Amino acid sequence: MTPAHQITPRSAAAIGLSSLVGLLAFAWPLVVDSGTWLADSPDGPWFFALLVPLLLAVVVAEMSEGGIDAKTVALLGVLTAVAAALRPLSGGVTGFQPMFVVLIIGGRVFGPGFGFLLGSTSMLASALITGGVGPWLPFQMIAAAWVGLGAGLLPRCRGRCEVALLAGYGAMSALAFGLLMNLWFWPFITTEGSIAFVAGDPISQNLGRLIAFTLATSWGFDIPRAIGNAVLIAALGAPALRTLRRAHRVAAFGAVPTFTPPPATPVTA
């Protein structure tokens, strides 16, 4: 089945560049030396908060040049709206966000490039709806984009195997999303103790402190998100996959139109 968007070498390079900068935006606390600007200033995340959206714009531009058609844009808009409408249902109390199910199934059916765009646009649209716009939003956008991208890169299988694979991926990606989102603010909210960031310490030690911080603060939200993703995908994954694949067949992505001249009209005397 042809993906909704074929990843060209240029769009792949744009996704790679955006992901690389996003990785640096998340991982800098693990590698930064003490006494540097990032280590000493709380303005560090703002630098990445401004840079990541610019790179996401490059991804959109490159993909557009690579052939995003009207059908893909329409489908992206519909699934983005569905995901954005689902986000407020959790209320932010339990940590469970059903929008991730849309990202995972959408990325699985329509391909990794589509999943990357769906993740970033869904997080942006849902933030505008819920008023969740702030320096954390670009980090949420790139992390959600990775969730959709990863779903599109999972091994091929069908039936119960596919649903089980997606349910497991939904659980693991929820925990990974929570860990990544802790990275963007963790260095600035803890200044002492065994879970505090220490600039210049070995990666292993800071990583251990980050994991301890995650266990102590965010797993109460991350685990319900992981369980919710797995349960929803296990329960609704099969019909959702069938529905989106039917839409995929009807849309006929990648089909090349052919034009046949009308038959000649016989001339009568």
The verdict on residue 152 lying in a domain is yes
The verdict on residue 268 lying in a domain is no
Sequence-distant contacts of 31-34: CB under 8 A, at least 24 apart: 31/203, 32/199, 32/200, 33/199, 33/200, 34/198, 34/199, 34/200
* 177 touches 147 (CB < 8 A): yes
Secondary structure of residue 160 in the 3-state scheme: helix
Q: How many domains does the chain have?
A: 1
Compute the half-sphere exposure of residue 127: CA atoms within 13 Å on the CB side of its CA. Answer: 17
The verdict on residue 118 lying in a domain is yes
The verdict on residue 259 lying in a domain is no
Q: Where residue 242 sits, what CATH number does that domain have?
A: 1.10.1760.20
- pLDDT for res 18: 81
The verdict on residue 156 lying in a domain is yes
Q: Please state, in angstroms and rounded to a whole number, the distance separating the CA atoms of residues 229 and 168.
A: 9
The verdict on residue 261 lying in a domain is no
- pLDDT for res 128: 86
The verdict on residue 209 lying in a domain is yes
Both structure tokens of 242: 């069938």
- pLDDT for res 104: 96
Q: Please state, in angstroms and rounded to a whole number, the distance separating the CA atoms of residues 14 and 240.
A: 30
Domain that holds residue 245: 9-251
* 22 touches 142 (CB < 8 A): yes
Taking 70 as the pLDDT cut, the residues of the chain under it are 1-6, 34-52, 54-56, 58-69, 90-94, 190-191, 251-260, 262, 264-269
Alpha carbon of residue 94 to chain centroid: 20
pLDDT, tens digit, 9 for 90 and up, residues 37-80: 555 555 555 666 666 676 667 666 656 665 566 777 788 889 99
CA distance readout (Å), 256 to 36, 73, 74, 222: 55, 18, 19, 44
The most distant pair of C-alpha atoms in the chain lies apart, rounded to whole Å, by: 101
- pLDDT for res 96: 81
Inter-axis angle of helices 9-31 and 160-189, to 10 degrees? 40
- pLDDT for res 60: 66
The verdict on residue 144 lying in a domain is yes
* 76 touches 27 (CB < 8 A): no
First and final C-alpha spacing in the chain: 52
